């Protein structure tokens, strides 16, 4: 009976968060955009208070595990900023668009900080009242991720595969991973560790005067890799503590599993970011079947003025703001410059336009089967709606 009453209280809290998320998305943001952040912060204050009344609150003590997990988070936050600003010296920096005056900084920070404080407060209350219900806590973490996505996601053209992929890669996936890891940290250490992480990573771009010009894709890969690496190390610490293995943080070494994980993350960041000679895109049509199929991804090598293109090369080029991957069918001339007539391998005839050389982005070097299907599925799902 006690557990059923507690679950009813949990469901009430979840229902309020879900209902507000939908109201925000379809009413508050469009009608009260200027005050939407303050309205959201006020709502979270109410839900936090209600959560304490319904579920109670446990005093958060700083113990051995909390101290060690905090050290892991601080270490990785430092490494993340070192990497980001190190890349800035290679790629360049941007001046922060936010005003540097104290009043403006306060105005820009007040609502986001309030949202972070009370979201983490709600997370802490719910997690510590339901430590015996891990599946519910995972679902609750996904609900908090959905809430954050809905109040932060920009408008997107769901008919465009590139736009849907951008939304998934730069917002949806990083936010889901962050919230799952924050709940894990909260479960094992209390509210302080995830709160410090979020106050740093979710507000630094408002505070610092210059930002590394690393682009949204490389930035999103850092936002994905950082909580994952924190989770890997924290999981090791928790596991060793659970199994009564002596552990000294200062002598902690990287797990051998971190090496391939880091390599995969760095490789994906390099391929998706577009800053490097090779990059990756997903294929949304079957015009190049059977050599390149719908749902595959291709790795493209950028061309320069010295790159020689020939009949038979598969190229990626821009046409009406859409990236197309077709094979060169004939060499042509356009305005006294080299151009190309292209054709999809599965099409009966050549394309009905000429591709100027300056529209060509690169030459396809490798096909990776199937991995672009999730973005295609999302794109088609929203297009039908």
Q: What is the CATH number of the domain that holds 306?
A: 2.10.109.10
Structural domain count, the chain: 2
Mean pLDDT value across residues 272-296: 80
- Asked if residue 169 lies in contact with residue 220, where contact means CB atoms within 8 angstroms, the answer is yes
Confidence band (pLDDT; 50, 70, 90) for 147? very high
Q: How confident is the model at residue 350 (pLDDT cuts 50, 70, 90)?
A: very high
Q: For residue 292, what pLDDT is reported?
A: 93
Integer Cα distance of 82 and 89 in angstroms: 11
For the residues 52-81, what does the mean pLDDT come to?
Answer: 87
Question: CA-to-CA distance for 226 and 67, rounded, in angstroms?
Answer: 19
Q: Tell me 352's DSSP state.
A: S
Tell me: do 210 and 308 sit in the same domain. no
Q: Is the pLDDT of residue 186 over 60?
A: yes
- 322 and 220 inside one domain: no
Residues 312 and 239 in one domain: no
| Mean per-residue pLDDT, 42-66 | 88
How many Cβ atoms sit within 10 Å of the Cβ of residue 240? 14
**Token reading at 370:** 């199937």
- Looking at 273, 295, 324, the residue that finishes a domain is 273
**267-283 per-position pLDDT tens digit:** 555 555 565 677 778 88
Count of Cβ atoms closer than 10 Å to residue 143 Cβ: 18
Is residue 108 very low, low, confident or very high in pLDDT (cuts 50, 70, 90)? confident
**122 occurs within a structural domain:** no
Q: Do residues 188 and 301 share a domain?
A: no
Q: What mean pLDDT is predicted for residues 32-42?
A: 87
CA distance 111 to 245: 43
Report residue 123 as tokens: 């997370």
Is there a single domain that holds both residue 177 and residue 293? no
- For residues 65-82, average pLDDT: 90
Give strand pairing partners of 323. Answer: 318
Which pLDDT score, from 0 to 100, does residue 33 have? 80
Higher pLDDT, 128 or 96: 128
In whole angstroms, give the CA distance from residue 288 to residue 297.
12
- What band does 64 get if pLDDT is binned at 50, 70 and 90? confident
Per-residue pLDDT at 246: 47
pLDDT at 26: 86
Answer for the pair 108, 37: CB distance below 8 angstroms, yes or no. Answer: no
- The whole-number average pLDDT for the span 124-152 is 93
The answer to whether residue 85 is domain-embedded is: yes
Give the end of a domain, one of 273, 292, 324. 273
Domain assignment of residue 3, yes or no: no
Nearest partner of 322 among 172, 115, 161, 156, judged by Cα? 161
Q: Cβ distance 87 to 212 under 8 Å? A: yes
Once rounded to an integer, what is the mean pLDDT over residues 187-215? 90
Residues 181 and 228 occupy one common structural domain: yes
205 in a structural domain: yes
| Range(s) of the domain holding residue 269 | 59-103+127-273
Please check whether residues 198 and 266 belong to one and the same domain. yes
- Is 286 part of any domain? yes
Residue 115: inside a domain: no
Shared-domain flag, residues 239 and 302: no
Name the residue with higher pLDDT: 226 or 107.
226
Q: Are 149 and 24 in contact (CB under 8 A)?
A: no
Are residues 286 and 254 part of one domain?
no
The helix (run of H) or strand (run of E) holding residue 325 is strand 322-334
Q: Do 284 and 354 reside in the same domain of the chain?
A: yes
* Burial of residue 96, with CB atoms counted within 10 A of its CB: 0-12 exposed, 13-18 middle, 19 or more buried: middle
Determine the pLDDT at residue 40. 93
What pLDDT score was predicted for residue 161? Answer: 62
Domain final residue pick, 225, 241, 273: 273
The tens digit of pLDDT for each residue in 244-265 reads: 554 444 444 445 445 555 555 5
Structure confidence at residue 266 as a pLDDT band (50, 70, 90): low
Average pLDDT over residues 313-337: 91
* Residue 113 counted as domain residue: no
Confidence at residue 44, expressed as pLDDT on a 0 to 100 scale: 95
Residues 284 and 234 in one domain: no
Contact predicate 197/77, CB 8 Å: yes
- C-beta separation of 329 from 343 below 8 A: yes
Rounded (10°) angle between helices 134-152 and 173-189: 140
Asked whether residue 35 is assigned to any structural domain, the reply reads: no
Mean pLDDT score across all residues of the chain: 83
Q: 99 pLDDT exceeds 70? A: no
Q: Are residues 269 and 161 in the same domain?
A: yes
Helix (H) or strand (E) holding 337: strand 337-343
Of 337 and 86, more confident:
337
CA atoms within a 13 Å half-sphere pointing along the CA-CB vector of 178: 27
């Amino acid at each position: 009976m006690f557990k059923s009453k507690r679950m009813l209280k949990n469901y009430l809290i979840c229902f309020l968060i879900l209902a507000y998320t939908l109201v925000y998305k379809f009413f508050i943001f469009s009608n009260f955009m200027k005050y939407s952040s303050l309205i959201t912060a006020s709502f979270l204050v109410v839900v936090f208070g209600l959560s304490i009344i319904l579920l109670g609150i446990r005093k958060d003590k700083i113990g051995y595990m909390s101290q060690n997990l905090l050290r892991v988070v601080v270490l990785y936050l430092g490494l993340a900023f070192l990497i980001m600003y190190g890349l800035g010296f290679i790629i360049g920096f941007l001046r922060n668009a936010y005003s540097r005056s104290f009043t403006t900084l306060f105005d820009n920070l007040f609502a986001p900080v309030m949202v972070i404080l009370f979201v983490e407060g709600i997370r802490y209350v719910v997690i510590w009242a339901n430590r015996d219900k891990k599946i519910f806590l995972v679902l609750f973490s996904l609900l908090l991720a959905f809430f954050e996505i809905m109040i932060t996601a920009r408008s997107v053209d769901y008919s465009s595969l590139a736009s849907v992929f951008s939304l998934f890669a730069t917002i949806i996936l990083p936010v889901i991973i962050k919230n799952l890891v924050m709940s894990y940290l909260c479960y094992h250490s209390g509210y302080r560790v995830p709160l410090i992480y979020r106050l740093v990573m979710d507000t630094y771009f408002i505070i610092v005067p210059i930002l590394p010009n690393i682009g949204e894709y490389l930035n999103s890969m850092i936002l994905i890799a950082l909580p994952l690496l924190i989770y890997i190390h924290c999981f090791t610490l928790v596991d060793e503590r659970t199994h009564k293995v002596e552990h000294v943080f200062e002598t902690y070494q990287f797990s051998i599993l971190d090496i391939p994980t880091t390599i995969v993350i760095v490789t994906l960041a390099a391929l998706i970011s577009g800053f490097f000679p090779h990059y990756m895109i997903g294929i949304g049509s079957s015009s190049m079947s059977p050599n390149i199929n719908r749902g595959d991804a291709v790795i493209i090598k950028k061309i320069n003025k010295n790159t020689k293109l020939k009949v038979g090369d598969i190229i990626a080029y821009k046409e009406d703001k859409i990236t197309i991957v077709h094979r060169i069918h004939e060499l042509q001339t356009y305005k006294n410059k080299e151009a190309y007539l292209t054709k999809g391998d599965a099409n009966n005839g050549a394309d009905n336009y000429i591709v100027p050389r300056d529209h060509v982005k690169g030459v396809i070097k490798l096909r990776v089967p199937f991995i672009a299907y999730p973005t295609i599925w999302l794109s088609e799902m929203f297009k039908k709606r």
